[in-house]
Structure 1
């Protein structure tokens, strides 16, 4: 079991799901049916956010079971499962397998984020160091079309067929799926900026989102008297614990610490998270609350508990600022609310990925395809849902181009004598 869990953490860490590999023989119609029944029932019994959704899950069974007689290949079955899971419009629910023309996962496979504002698709965040930023996409621009298809038209096929009402949350997920694109197609983004239309090509000369590489598990340096540690999407890698310990030891004489979690879109595991937090506290404290709704649904008995984090040797006791943003997701969000709940850090940034709860992984009995769904709700210790947390300290919205407004604010809060 432990080996399976460790393997799962590695898979969750990856920015993209594994592509569908060649399979020996297709399943029989009965096996496709049994796999689909297992999938539908597992979601029905364990998914814990139906109350937030407009999804009619019983109708999902009817709609997609009706398509099973036409399924004769692995690829067709993957597409059916993708479409069925997309009915939840939940970025924390995903398959482990994808096709070349599958949509990239959100937020790990996205380099910008868009929201509808007064009927317009407005860019609200751009991922630092990736194609969208490189070609000039900036917050405040209006997204008009992707690959020459107007956004309103492009998002319609991605809206669930079972929805009782198409709510704003479903539209936002579909909109960002359009923006992120598919694994095998380069994107042309048509935007309006300062009254003028522009075409941007974030995947030229290469599709950077298909080949994400980092210099290391983390980066660290000293800025004046302040230490700085940036986590490079490695919260699911147990080797990060030793790397973090080493970096923090080198920075032990600093007057404050900036912990940058803005590039942690791939999630992680609680062992690594508690190890990092444990170096920043001096006594055992609660850092988040769990709730498992399935037990209430099945037995009428409420199950909830508070998770603790314990201090580790050589605690760093100076002030800490945590930087977060749209690509701070899942375990990164957990560390954020944990350090804030424990009164151990000031949080600076924008809203995070707002991923729902904690996921559990399952595997279909015949195809072997794996999938993840949220099965536990997560809260700050005081009861605030993790996905609703927004930092009180925000970066300067009108910061000059080329400056890191969030880092600059963190340094001011820590009273650093010099700028980076």
Structure 2
């Protein structure tokens, strides 16, 4: 009898556990539960509400009504993606097993870079040293260096070689157009070759409270000279809307170096470092939790860093890169 009673109790406990597990799983997949969770996480931690003039309460009231507890996972994804895209921030994504949301800031403005034009008409015999594609322009008077992604690491020896090759030029063109970013640690490594003194170049602040205006103290961002080879002559840095994230960091920090000049179009932004987590249903998300400031405290990193010399690519003539031509005028 005891064994029978124990068996009955055991079955009852098992059924209770299964019921609790089923109810928990059902709750975690509830579209409204997941909507509220993500909205609250962004509300507590996102860093650019005030700068962008976003009314997050209106976003909630407008989009939550598109869902019910009967909504499909695809309908939930579309609504959550729409909610995140109101932030206009390519560091903000929703990652599900079947799709990834993105804003695509680069598509908001005309493109200003055509790789085929550069390779065919400017440096058809360009050298490839690690991630750098480079060669001489203007009869050897100017060096051109294309760095297409801060995701691509480089060694000190590679950078020594590239900069040494152009030591006798009048100036450099550093092309960061359509450089979507990557590792922020590559930014000071590259900037360190254009100065001989340690410079305070910018600040970061991080959201740290429930109010949209709650931020911690400024954290200094220094550029420290490094490496065996420096280049201290004029450097024209080419940027456009495709210059995002780490490239926007580079653009902001370069303003502290007097020999660097930004040319082209406004960068795509991405000055806020992303952080994230997991929704109750297991999907992952990320969004910007910090801000990047220049030395004057200007916070235009998320809306993009404007060029000091504007220039645009003319897509009617693909044999010519007007932005490179404008840079050559500055350097010669």
- The TM-score normalised by the length of structure 2 is 0.74
**Deviation string for 1:23-42 (max 9, x for gaps)?**
xxxx9331135544442222
Distance 1:263 1:244 in 2: 21
**Which structure's residues are more often helix, by fraction?**
2
Return the offset for 1:375.
1.4
**Deviation string for 1:346-369 (max 9, x for gaps)?**
22112221x253122212154443
Contact 1:32 1:68 survives alignment (8 Å): no
Contact 1:321 1:345 survives alignment (8 Å): yes
Partner of 1:408: 325
Distance 2:65 2:249 in 1: 37
**Deviation string for 1:394-417 (max 9, x for gaps)?**
2378898231111112122221xx
Partner of 1:31: 28
Contact 1:259 1:322 survives alignment (8 Å): yes
Query: What is the aligned counterpart of 2:307 among 386, 391, 399?
Result: 391
Residues 335 and 103 of structure 1, relative CA distance in 2, 3 Å threshold: same
Contact 2:81 2:101 survives alignment (8 Å): no
Distance 1:328 1:389 in 2: 10
2:184 matches 1:270: yes
Task: Give the paired residue count.
Answer: 290
**Structure 1 segment 45-60 matched on structure 2, within 5 A:** 45-53=44-52, 55-60=54-59
Return the offset for 1:374.
1.7
Contact 1:349 1:395 survives alignment (8 Å): yes
Residues 281 and 81 of structure 1, relative CA distance in 2, 3 Å threshold: same
Return the offset for 1:243.
4.7
Return the offset for 1:236.
2.6
CA RMSD of aligned residues (A): 3.4
Return the offset for 1:378.
1.2
Contact 1:231 1:263 survives alignment (8 Å): no
Residues 396 and 50 of structure 1, relative CA distance in 2, 3 Å threshold: closer
Secondary structure in structure 2 of the residue aligned to 1:323 = strand
Contact 1:286 1:342 survives alignment (8 Å): no
Secondary structure in structure 1 of the residue aligned to 2:43 = helix
2:132 matches 1:225: no
Residues 219 and 307 of structure 1, relative CA distance in 2, 3 Å threshold: same
- The TM-score normalised by the length of structure 1 is 0.60
Distance 2:234 2:213 in 1: 45
Partner of 2:9: none
Distance 2:185 2:94 in 1: 24
Distance 2:316 2:60 in 1: 52
Distance 1:240 1:215 in 2: 10
Residues 104 and 344 of structure 1, relative CA distance in 2, 3 Å threshold: same
Partner of 1:165: none
2:70 matches 1:70: yes
Query: What is the aligned counterpart of 2:247 among 332, 337, 340?
Result: 332
Query: What is the aligned counterpart of 1:247 among 147, 153, 162?
Result: 162
Distance 2:329 2:284 in 1: 46
Secondary structure in structure 1 of the residue aligned to 2:292 = strand
2:22 matches 1:107: no
Secondary structure in structure 1 of the residue aligned to 2:69 = helix
For structure 1, the residue ranges without an aligned partner over 5 or more in a row are: 1-26, 115-123, 131-213, 416-420
For structure 2, the residue ranges without an aligned partner over 5 or more in a row are: 1-23, 117-127
Distance 2:275 2:216 in 1: 22
Secondary structure in structure 2 of the residue aligned to 1:329 = coil
Query: What is the aligned counterpart of 1:303 among 214, 217, 220?
Result: 217
Distance 1:289 1:248 in 2: 28
